[in-house]
Structures are given as structure tokens and as C-alpha cells.
Chain A
Amino acid sequence: MLFALILLPLAGALVAWIVPDNRLRPLILPVMGSIHLVLTVLLLGNTPAPSAGGWIWLDPLGKVVLLCISLLFVVCAFYAVGYLSYRQERSNRILCTGLLVCLAAMGLVTVSQHLGLLWVALETTTVSMAPLIYFNRNARSIEATWKYLLICSVGIGLALLGLLFLAYSTYVAQRDATLLLGPLMASARDLNPGWLHAAAIFLLVGYGSKMGLAPLHTWKPDAYGEAPGLVGALLAGGLVNCAFLSILRVYQICLASGIEIQFFQKSLLGMGLISMAFAAVFMARQADFKRMLAYSSIEHVGILAIGLGLGGGAIYGALFHLLNNGLTKGVLFLSSGNIHRSYSNKTTDVVKGALTRLPWSGGLFLAGFIAITGSPPFSPFISEYTIVSSAFIDGHHLVGGLFLLFLVIVFIGMALTVLPMVMGAPPADIEPTDYRDRLLTVGPPFLMMTVILVLGIWPPAFLVTLLRDGAAMLGVQP
């Protein structure tokens, strides 16, 4: 069953590559997405034993990420059918194939218990996403693709060096050199501290640049700004969480080593606060609403890093926020894609009065904005509240205070862009486009928004247990 999670999307990718018809091909996506979701639900309920010599297993942390990816992908897949019907002027072969390869690689990230395999899967997600950012085939998107590809490849290369350092620290400690998570954590106390320290730094820098933590975030606004909405949704909700899971694995090892964890937590706190500060500065007066979403993503990876860096109760919040941020970003990117299609423009100079022109997409974008800035009753409020309250309870007053300050600045900055976009009357002189809100382009993000609302009001018991199990793996006393 665990292998099916990877092999089925790959088979789907092959079919998508072979099918010659441009209208028929996107239909493979929702079929595969639905199968993937069913598989995920089955796996969450009944986890099989580790296979392939312990390399492949789904632990609670992997489950949280897998759930987020699977939900996000199925929504994006149904949306893609509607979206691509407006984009029949160009072939969607590479897009459909790339999405499915990326789904397979993301699945592999969640089930990898071997850090080398995890690295290979993560690098595969990077490479398979690159052609998708270039879907629009113009000068701007090629520039974005180049920056994304080069910065992420170099970053992931540094993470590989970090992994080698980690293996070397076991070698110097005269243990069997291995990168399997279980044995590595068991022998973590005896590892050579110097090499472990170097490994932690390189892994944090490498995976951090992939996740888009400041100051390694420079590729993010470009890539998110130029990619189609559904690719942006998968970048912000899928790839970010895969990179975060990789950082969680490093965190587990540092925690087991006993000494390295303090440095690692401090670095995470520092990078998290810098990310939020960057986002707060650049969010203000951002005319391009897709770039604005990229800065929002930088803000939220900062929140995830801070939650992890604080430790204790905040970790529960960070794991919950991983899910909430992924799903809410999905709503925002998909509805912003609709608005972009309808106005054929993505700057606030032209895009005004979206609520009048596109009541559904405009409304969803507004609801997504309210949710992502941490307003009740949506679920990101709960997770952000958990993080900030545990910061104050544990005595991190400075971190908690800065966290709240940045949240307020981001809220104001984002509102200054979003409110004029959706309110008021649409300008009279915009060129007409053939985009109209339809069930396939509005229904999927609407369903996801409902999920976010339900999670905020009444988080299901199985999810709470899952998050608790995940937090327990990261050293939180139950």
C-alpha cells in the first residue's frame, strides 16, 4: 500500500504523457487525485508495518504532511480540469505529467525513513516543478524558473553535504555509518558533536532555502508570481511542507543528540523572525497580488519555524499550522488564478471590484485573506493562537511580542492590497475575457474553504490525536 502511494501517480504520469488529446488529458488528474486521497485515508486508519528494510514507513509526522498534500492535490486536480479548459491554446502534456510526478515524489518524501532517500525525493520535487513554473512560456516566467531552479538546486546540494557530514559523524564515532532515522536517533548521543553541528547548519540552510525561509527566500516571489495559480498552490502547500518535514527529521536527530537541539531551535527562531519581518516589510504596497501571496508564504514558513523553535506546546500549533497554511494557500492561489484569468492582469492597478465581477472567486479570495491573517473562526487562528500563547507561557516574551507585531503589520499590509481588489466597482475599460466562474473552477476551492472553517470550529478527534502523536515524536510531553 505504501508503494502504491508512489507507483500509482507515476503510472498516471506515464498515461498523461501518452494520451494525445489535450482536452482528455487533464481528466487523469482528478482520477489520480481521488485514488490518492482514498489511499491516504486508508493508510491513516491502518498503517502497514515498515517495509524495504525499514526505509519506507508512514509515521505520524509523515501522516500529517501526507494528509495535507493529498487534500490539496485532489482539490487542485479538479480545479485543473476547469482551468485548463481555458488554456487550450497550449499543450498541457508537460503540466499534467509534471504534476503527477511531483505527487509521487511528495508521497515518497512523506514515507521516507532514510534521509538519503528523503533527499532524493525532495530533489525530484524541485526538478519536476521547474517546467510547471514555465507554463506560460514568456520572458518573465523563464526568469522565475531559472532563479528557482538554480537557487533550490544549490540549496539542496548543500543539504546533501550536510547529510554526508551527518554520516561522517557516525563514522568518526565508530558506529555503523547509516542515514536510517531509527538507528541514527538511537546512536545520536554518541555522534561526533563537531560534525553533527556542521551537519545541522548545512541541512538547515539547504532545506531552509527550499522551504523559502528568509534570508534564503529570494526565488519565492518570482516563482509564485509567474507560475499558474494551481502550481503556486502546490508550491506553497505541498513543496513547502515537504521541505518542512525534512527539517522536522533533522530536528528529531538534534533532539535525540541532546546537545545540538538548543542551537537548532535558536537558529529556527532567528530565521523564523527574520522571515516574518521580511514579509511584513515587502507585503506593504505590493501591487502584484500573486507576489503578495508569495510574501504571505514566507511569513507562514516563518511561523512554522518559530513554532518549531519554541518547542513545547508550540510544536502542536506548528504541526496544525502546516495543514492550515497549506490548505488556505490553496484557496488563495486558486481563487487568485481565477481573478488573474478574468482580468488578464495581476496588479491592483487594473484588478478592482472583484466581488462584483466574480462574486464567487472574489468572495473566496476575501475569505482566504481573512483566514490566512489569523482571524477567527478559521483554523489558522487556532494554530497561530496556540503558538503565540505557548510562547508567552514558556517565558519567550520577546519572541511572542515580535510575533504579534509582525502579524499585525502583515494584516494591515495585506488588507491594503486585498480590500481595494475585491471592493468597489470594476473599472469600465478592462478588456473582456472569456473566463466565467464555473463549478469546476470555484467548487474545489470552496470545498477547501469549508474544510478550513470546520477545522477551526470543530477539529475532528482523529486529527487531534494525530497531531498529538506527531508532537510527541518531537519531544513534547503528552
Chain B
Amino acid sequence: MNAFADQLLVLVMLINLVMLGSSRLIFSIRAVAAQGVILGILPGLIHPFSGHLAAITAGIILAKGILIPYLISDAVRKAQIRREVEPFLGYVPTLLLGAVFTALSFAFAEKLPLAPEHKDLLFVPASIATLLTGFLILTTRRKAISQVIGYLVMENGIFIFGMLLTEAMPVMVEAGALLDLLVGIFVMGIVINHISREFSSLDTSRLRTLKEE
């Protein structure tokens, strides 16, 4: 099953690159949703079956695959915007940076003192690559919705690392983390709505009245 898990992780990293190269917001949201579903399947592939595991799989797919993407696309629909325009850094440079980051995360993961049974798996490089992709989106895009997507990708990266520890993390904590994430995105969706009403735009570079004179 480990080979299948690795193939899925490669898919996660490809989705990262696809998101970096795309300007259509709905497309990015679907890509994040697909990542969420893959994240839900992964723990089942590397850990023996248990009730705990089933609960986590269901929780992740429900939260990251369905509810959160729904909340964000709802915000997109209400704000009536389709594309990310003029990011701070163009699509091709970010895509190249994303590829470089992915390569670097493989090199970095080689050096980490991992437990022997995790040495041959792609979990750690995929986690670092996804985390860095999230940061890249967060810092180079202007639209508030793109920034939320970046935050989600970053969280996905953290979750991939957490997969190695599924047995150690109590289900209460995982459920709490997912719930907090969900409510956080919900509040962000509301805030996005108000930003678009207040500024008639979702361009966060317009959020600059508050600064030191």
C-alpha cells in the first residue's frame, strides 16, 4: 500500500504546481478540495484499520473536501470575482519557484533524522513542499480569497506531516483542529464578504489605511 500512498503524494505535489500556475479562483478551490480528499484517504493506506482511523478519514474528507471548499466558493460567488489579477509575482516565476521549493524539500527531507520506517516514504518531502507552496500563494497573491487558499494549502502541508503520527494524535484533538479550521474559514468567508462590500474589491493591497505615518 505504501507505493499507492506515494503515488497519491506525488499527485498532491502536482496539484500544488497546478494551483501556482492558475489564475481562476474556482479552479484553485477545486484543486484544494481534491487535495483534501486525498489527505482523507492517505491515513487509511499506511495505518491498520481502526474506528479512530475511520473517524479521521470521514472528518478530513467532510471538512477539507466538501465543507471548506463550499464555504470559499460561496464567498467567491457573493463577491462576484473569477480571477486573480496581477499577483505581486507573476504565474511563471511562482511556478518556477514552486518547482525549486519542491526539489529542495526532497533534498532537505533526506537529511532529516526520520524514523527508519518513514525513510522511504514521500510524506515528509510532500509535507514540506505543500507547506512552502502555501506560503508562496499567501505572499504573492493580492486577492483575499487567494490568501485563504494559500492558508489552506499550508494547513494541508501540516496535516500531511501529521499523518505519520495518526496513531499518536487523539481523535479529540484532530476533531478540534478540523473544527477550528472550519470555523476559521467560515469567519474568513464572512470577512471577505465585508471587504468586497466596503472596498468594492477584494484586493488586499487596498487594505493599507492602517499604518504608521
Residues of A within 8 A of B (CB): 114, 116-117, 119-120, 123-124, 126-127, 130-131, 134, 137-140, 142-147, 149-150, 153-154, 157, 160-161, 164, 167-168, 170-172, 176-179, 192, 194-195, 221-222, 225-226, 282, 287
Contact = CB atoms under 8 A, between A and B. Distances in A.
Contacts of A176: 168
B154 A117 contact: no
Contact of A138 (B161, B184, B198, B204): B198
B55 to A, nearest CB: 16
14 contacts: A116-B172, A116-B177, A120-B173, A127-B187, A134-B191, A142-B191, A143-B210, A150-B151, A167-B168, A168-B115, A194-B112, A221-B210, A226-B210, A287-B213
Contacts of A131: 187, 190
Given A154-B138, A222-B210, A282-B212, A149 B188 contact: yes
A137 to B, nearest CB: 8
A178 B176 contact: no
B183 A127 contact: yes
A130 B191 contact: yes
Given A120-B180, A131-B187, A142 B198 contact: yes
Contacts of A153: 151, 184, 188
Interface residues of B, number: 43
A140 B191 contact: no
Contact of B209 (A116, A140, A167): A140
B151 A143 contact: no
Given A167-B169, A171-B165, A130 B187 contact: yes
B191 A178 contact: no
A461 to B, nearest CB: 39
Contacts of B88: none
A172 B115 contact: yes
Interface string B111-142: 01111000000000000000100000010000
Nearest to B175: A120
Nearest to B172: A117
A124 to B, nearest CB: 6
Interface string B169-213: 110110011011001100110110011001100001001111011
A116 B199 contact: no
A164 to B, nearest CB: 5
A167 B173 CA distance: 13
Contacts of B169: 116, 167, 179
Given A117-B176, A124-B180, A149-B187, A154 B210 contact: no
Contacts of B10: none
